[in-house]
Amino acid sequence: MPSPNVSLWRDRLLRFAAGAGGTIVGALLGVVRNKWLATHLETAGIGVVSQVMASQAWLGALIGLGLGLPVTRAVAAAARRGDDAAAWRTTATAFALVFAASIPAALLVLAFAEPISTLLLGTPDHAALIRISVFGLVGVGLFGVAQGLCAGRSDVRAPMAFVLGGAGAATILTLVLVPRFGLLGATVATAVLYPVGMAVMLWIHARRFPAAFGSWPSPLFDRREVVALLSVTGAALALPVLDQGTLLALRANVVRVHGPAANGLLQAALALSQMVGSLFYAYLASYALGKISAAGSADGIRSYTRRQWLPIVSAAALILSLAMVTGGPLLHVLYSNRFDPARAMMSYTLVGEFGRVCLQAAALGSLPLGGAGLWFRIGVVQPIALAVCYAAFVAAGSGPLSLPHAYAAAGAITFATGAWFMARAGAPLGARNIAAAAAGYALLLTLLRFATG
């Protein structure tokens, strides 16, 4: 019989693998798409497509109204009561709200595609790509509600269904369309990811929970449901819109100053770094968040945070260090030798990703501990720090490396600030855990020095 420590670590690894399963499959399919895009579109083409994707994600988050969290809570509460009608009424109202928000947003994007293209890409020539992305941004908005519905009933198959359906369709279309249609084909493939993925996810969910869906309520907009949903969406909407919007704006500046090729290199660096980070975010969101939310008191939240801290942060430091050491071969395998200049960018973004993982692990209990106010105060630091650091590095003459430098610095600033906020709220990390983060930073910065010369 294995010892308690062996069993504990085995269980942790199994939970990590389960939580990150959909992320891993999605990442593998993303690797296939990126390699194909790099072969046919090169750095400049990826720079254009990634900027269109980022604008689609930002606008989708905006029209989604931050409804994912309140839908999750409302559906979970109704499911505990056995009130399927209430759960569907909440979900239907949320879908209707997003549809209502998406119509004017889509019309505005279609009407002003050329100015939007100029703002994001420095030229009106890509207006057709902006118009195609409208299909995808509506899907992003609706996905938040669908995700909330599935999470409220703890449907662990939903993330994998989304990845297999959406990312699978996007990958097939990328392989088929890009060689013939170039940027246009890549944008079409990207635009179907969320709509198709959401449709497959809801189909799988309906097979497991037939009572989750019913006839559309009348009236469609129940005033009490609308007020209940929108009253708690503030921080859930503001944080992703501000975070994604800040990065989108800074990358638009990179395109205007340094060209789309520089943004393509930056996309490769960010994508690889965030691919590693997403493994930890998936585990924290799919498993640890529920556990820490059930901890109740500040003592329970502090205890759980500290228990999780060392294994998560140690694993993050080691995996991110491995990615930094193998950065050159990774870029060759996953993209092409034209992406060699992204090696230095990737080294800095990996350091920034370590700070983001540390922040998520430290501030996981912010919502149950201090409510939406504490959660928002911690979350808003990242986009503000990124913008301020970017301006500072541009002024210092860092050139195309300004944003990677800012990403690394903002990660450290946000982690330090978040840990301080959590300590004030009653959940300090403790000296040993802070020392572990410092050791991780020391390892990464040492490797950074060798990777960047």
Q: Which residue has the tokens 């750095």?
A: 43
**pLDDT number for residue 285:** 64
Contact 277, 403 (CB under 8 A): no
**pLDDT number for residue 443:** 94
In the structure, what pLDDT confidence band is assigned to residue 417 with cuts at 50, 70 and 90? very high
Q: Which residue has the tokens 């000296």?
A: 431
- More reliable by pLDDT, 170 or 215: 170
Mean pLDDT of 52-73: 83
Q: Which residue has the tokens 């340094």?
A: 258
Contact 135, 102 (CB under 8 A): no
Mean pLDDT of 380-409: 94
- For 154, phi then psi, to 5°, come to 55, 45
Q: Is residue 1 part of a domain?
A: no
Closest CA to 26 of 271, 267, 205, 195: 271
91 contacts: CB under 8 Å, gap ≥ 6: 71, 75, 145, 148, 149, 212
Mean pLDDT of the chain, nearest integer: 83
Residues 82 and 170 placed together within one structural domain of the fold? yes
| CA distance linking residue 274 with residue 27, whole number of Å | 10
Residue-wise DSSP of 86-132:
HHHHHHHHHHHHHHHHHHHHHHHHHHTHHHHHHHHHSSGGGHHHHHH
Residues 187 and 295 placed together within one structural domain of the fold? no
- More reliable by pLDDT, 168 or 232: 168
How crowded is the C-beta side of 376, counted as CA atoms within 13 Å?
13
Q: State the residue range of the domain holding 203.
A: 20-231
Residues 237 and 207 placed together within one structural domain of the fold? no
Q: In which element (H, E) is residue 240 found?
A: helix 234-258
Closest CA to 193 of 158, 143, 241, 130: 143
| CA distance linking residue 45 with residue 61, whole number of Å | 24
Task: State the Cα angle at 105 between 46 and 242, rounded to 5°.
Answer: 65
Contact 327, 343 (CB under 8 A): yes
- Segment 75-102, tens digit of pLDDT: 777 777 777 777 778 888 888 888 888 8
- Segment 19-45, tens digit of pLDDT: 556 667 777 787 788 788 888 887 888
DSSP reduced 3-state for 452:
coil
Q: Is residue 7 part of a domain?
A: no
Residues 62 and 132 placed together within one structural domain of the fold? yes
pLDDT value at 2 more than 70: no
**Among the three residues 205, 231, 257, which one is the final residue of a domain in this structure?**
231
Residue type, 98: V
Residues 329 and 407 placed together within one structural domain of the fold? yes
**pLDDT number for residue 36:** 85
Q: Is residue 344 part of a domain?
A: yes
Provide the 10 A C-beta neighbour count for residue 28: 13
| CA distance linking residue 274 with residue 262, whole number of Å | 18
- Segment 303-357, tens digit of pLDDT: 877 888 888 899 999 999 999 998 888 888 778 778 888 889 999 999 999 999 9
Mean pLDDT of 381-409: 94
**pLDDT number for residue 345:** 92
310 contacts: CB under 8 Å, gap ≥ 6: 432, 433, 436
**Among the three residues 231, 249, 272, which one is the final residue of a domain in this structure?**
231
pLDDT value at 5 more than 70: no
Q: Is residue 14 part of a domain?
A: no
Structure tokens at 211: 């009572």
Closest CA to 354 of 245, 246, 288, 436: 436
Residues 68 and 125 placed together within one structural domain of the fold? yes
**Among the three residues 212, 231, 250, which one is the final residue of a domain in this structure?**
231
Q: Is residue 399 part of a domain?
A: yes
Q: What is the dihedral of CA 252, 258, 261, 267, to 10 degrees?
A: -50
- More reliable by pLDDT, 2 or 364: 364
pLDDT value at 290 more than 60: no
Contact 22, 158 (CB under 8 A): no
Q: Which residue has the tokens 């207006």?
A: 127
Residues 220 and 339 placed together within one structural domain of the fold? no
pLDDT value at 396 more than 90: yes
Mean pLDDT of 45-71: 84
Mean pLDDT of 225-234: 70
- More reliable by pLDDT, 82 or 14: 82
Q: Is residue 4 part of a domain?
A: no
**pLDDT number for residue 20:** 55
Task: Kindly report which listed range (225-239, 357-371, 418-432) carries the lowest average pLDDT score.
Answer: 225-239
Closest CA to 254 of 404, 98, 84: 404
CA 343 to chain centre: 22
Q: Which residue has the tokens 């109202």?
A: 93
Closest CA to 195 of 103, 131, 133: 133
Sign of CA dihedral 304, 381, 58, 117: negative
Q: Is residue 409 part of a domain?
A: yes
**pLDDT number for residue 4:** 54
Residue type, 411: G
Residues 226 and 240 placed together within one structural domain of the fold? no
Residues 271 and 348 placed together within one structural domain of the fold? yes
Q: What is the dihedral of CA 227, 231, 232, 235, to 10 degrees?
A: 140
User: How many residues would you count in the chain?
Assistant: 453
Closest CA to 449 of 347, 353, 329: 347
Mean pLDDT of 184-212: 86
**Structural domain total, the chain:** 2
Q: Is residue 292 part of a domain?
A: yes
Mean pLDDT of 374-379: 86
Residues 262 and 404 placed together within one structural domain of the fold? yes
Residues 221 and 246 placed together within one structural domain of the fold? no
Residues 238 and 183 placed together within one structural domain of the fold? no
Query: DSSP letter at 218?
Result: S
pTM above 0.95, yes or no: no
- Segment 108-152, tens digit of pLDDT: 999 998 999 998 888 888 889 999 988 888 888 888 888 888 877
- Segment 236-265, tens digit of pLDDT: 678 888 888 898 899 989 988 888 888 888
